[in-house]
Structure 1
Amino acid sequence: MKRVAVLYGGISAEREVSLVSGQQVIVALRDAGYEVVPVEVGHDLGALIGALDPKPDAVFNALHGRFGEDGAIQGVLDWLNIPYTHSGVRPSAIAMDKVAAKALFAAAGLPVARHKVVTVVELEEADPMPRPYVIKPQNEGSSVGVYIMKNGDNRRAEIARGWSFGPTAMVEEFIPGREITVAVMGDRALAVTEIKASHDFYDYESKYAEGGSTHVIPAEVPQIIAEAAKDVALRAHQALGCSGASRSDFRYDDTEGAPGRLVLLEVNTQPGLTPVSLLPEQAAHLGISFPALCAWMVEAAQCRV
């Protein structure tokens, strides 16, 4: 029987989400016949390394956010020579850095939104681009720290003064229309889901709270858009050098009629695995149970040394 350590929790702003993902994965892997060693990760790196001795056959990385999906824990696991799920150091680090990822996507010919990086001082002083635009941290996930600035919104200076994500922020043109997403498993794009959030956009609460959003699968979009989204998701996965599963998020602007404009926002190298998450939902849509999905990830685990 293969022995699998499940890392969950972590020290990022997404700790609570990771705890839920990890608990789900632990149950699923046991159902799939693995010996599971739960490892709740905190600030003590030495304790984490100790929990991986003796070495498991594989690590299931259910961590989210900084230190979990930005290449940090991936480097530790490579150093320890333990195979792990999802992507390695380089694709994880690039995908987590929104500016670096956009540069790579643009170089690969993928459609991205116009954007720029500004200092918090510049943001406090004036609008960095015409409204509406979006303010984002450069290195966070799950829509943590994301704000949409529309005409008449006077929060800009307040947001800048309270900014806790470093000296700079990324600002991006706001793309009207609809939110869609595509998961990838290996070399296969799974499906296209439209996300109808209960709030103005697909924020943290919409992603993880019960009733926070409605998922329409398959998305009711023109076939040409569905095929394009799946193609771009797979090409983005490959351009980053991702392994295992990923999920690409898009805006689809059909406000002026079909077929409209498709824009890649970002790639998630550690997609959520909670009861309301999108990757398991797309897998189930194609007949892949959650235990089978988690088992596939374990069997695809790699060490990159």
Structure 2
Amino acid sequence: MHKILQYVIILKMKNIIILSGGWTEPFASLKSAKTVISLLKIKHSNAHIVNLDPADGLLNLRKQILDISPDVIINLVHGYWGEDGYAQIFLDKLGFPYTGPSFQEAHTSMNKHIMHELCKELSVPIPKSGYVSESKYIEKVHCYPHIIKPIRGGSSYGIDVINNENEKINHAAKDPILIYEEIIDGPELCIAIKKGKCLGTILIDHDDQIYTVHAKNTDENVRFIDPKIYGVSDKMLEDAKSYASKLYNHVNGRGIARIDFKVTDKPYFIDYNSIPGMVLIPRILKLNGYSDEDMIDLLIN
């Protein structure tokens, strides 16, 4: 179907639900929802931002969705309840078409340990890392600086930076099982992908040890750069795109995803975002020549 005709069909939809909220990243989800509202360029009466609040339970949410009877649900719930498979189970039972990952993609890609093992299986480079007990962590891990990641999580929430032995010992008492990952000094290469095809790339250069929650929310001391202008080689870009496509296809990717790498001597996988924020994704797509209409087409169709 021609993309202009597809966009006309989207504009003629009577009801579109933009699902926001979630457990860990409700403000980021709302920011994404407002971005999509502006991209849709339709009356607010046609697009309804509906909040998924796990504390309220799902009965009220179910009633809201059934009352609206949407043509499509745009799932923009980031983090827990959006990118871990729970929202997908709920939406599958309701039966309305929805965007974003399937249960399998969300459940698999949010688990850092599973993704590290998948990278090893597919020969995708990752930083020095491990899934270890508290005692093994204290005894065996001596690479500094490194980060401690939650097994499931996103947008840098729950990440601690460990710079020395004292910080390591103090943190080890908090968790019986840990995922650690060495911090690689270098910019982050973000790849937008759909149906296994790279839609575009952008490089993020920042002043902190990691791309923090604060930096993501404010863009403070953050620079967004065309990778080629920064000096990333064609081979590095092609390798990263190939790795991203392998990972996306292996988890049965469905919608737009964003896969992030640290680039130094090679691209090192650091994160898979099955429902990426709709602030950075438009930035990537615009840098790579996509219009607002293209973005909505890619998001919904």
| Category of TM-score, reference length = shorter chain | 0.7 to 0.9
Report the Cα offset of residue 11 of structure 1.
1.8
Higher helix share: 2
Q: 1:30 touches 1:36 (CA, 8 Å); kept in 2?
A: no
Give CA deviations for 1:209-253 in whole Å, capped at 9, x if unaligned. 132411111342111101111121122111111111111111112
Residue 113 of structure 1 corresponds to 127
Distance 1:198 1:290, change over 3 A: farther
Aligned residues: 284
SS at match of 2:254: coil
Q: Distance in 2 between matches of 1:247 and 1:101?
A: 14
* CA–CA separation in structure 1 for the residues paired with 2:183 and 2:18: 37
Identify the residue that residue 52 of structure 1 maps to in structure 2: 65
Question: Does the 8 A contact of 1:118 with 1:128 survive in 2?
Answer: no
Q: Identify the match of residue 239 of structure 1 among 250, 260, 264.
A: 250
Residues 200/11 of structure 1: CA separation in 2 closer, same or farther (3 Å cut): same
Contact 1:116 1:171 in 2 (8 A): yes
Is the CA contact (8 Å cut-off) linking 2:20 and 2:75 kept in structure 1?
yes
Cα deviations across residues 279-304 of structure 1 (Å, max 9, x unaligned)?
Answer: 211111122234531343122xxxxx
Once residues 225 and 34 of structure 1 are traced to their aligned partners in structure 2, the CA distance between those partners, rounded to angstroms, is 46
What is the rounded CA distance, in whole Å, between the counterparts of 1:58 and 1:148 in structure 2?
40
Please tell me whether residue 251 in structure 1 is matched to residue 262 in structure 2. Answer: yes
Question: 1:84-123 to 2 correspondence within 5 Å?
Answer: 84-120=98-134
- Unaligned 5+ segments in structure 2 are 1-11
Give the % identical residues. 25
**Residues 198, 213 of structure 1: 8 Å contact kept:** yes
CA distance in 1, matches of 2:222, 2:294: 25
Instruction: Indicate the SS of the match to 2:227.
Output: coil
* Letter of the structure 1 residue corresponding to residue 130 of structure 2: K
Moved over 6 A (4+): none
Determine the structure 1 residue equivalent to 2:7: none
2:21 is aligned with 1:9: yes
Unaligned runs of 5+ in 1: 254-259, 300-305
Q: Which residue of 1 aligns with 2:286?
A: 284
Q: Give the conservation status (yes or no) of the 8 Å contact 1:206–1:212.
A: yes
Query: In 2, Cα distance between the equivalents of 1:183 and 1:218?
Result: 13
TM-score by length of 1: 0.85
Match of residue 159, structure 1, among 171, 176, 196: 171
Q: Which amino acid aligns with 1:23?
A: K
State whether structure 2 residue 279 is matched by structure 1 residue 267.
Answer: no
Give the distance between the partners of 1:65 and 1:73, measured in 2 at CA: 11
Report SS of the residue matched to 1:24: helix
**CA RMSD, Structure 1 to Structure 2 (Å):** 2.3
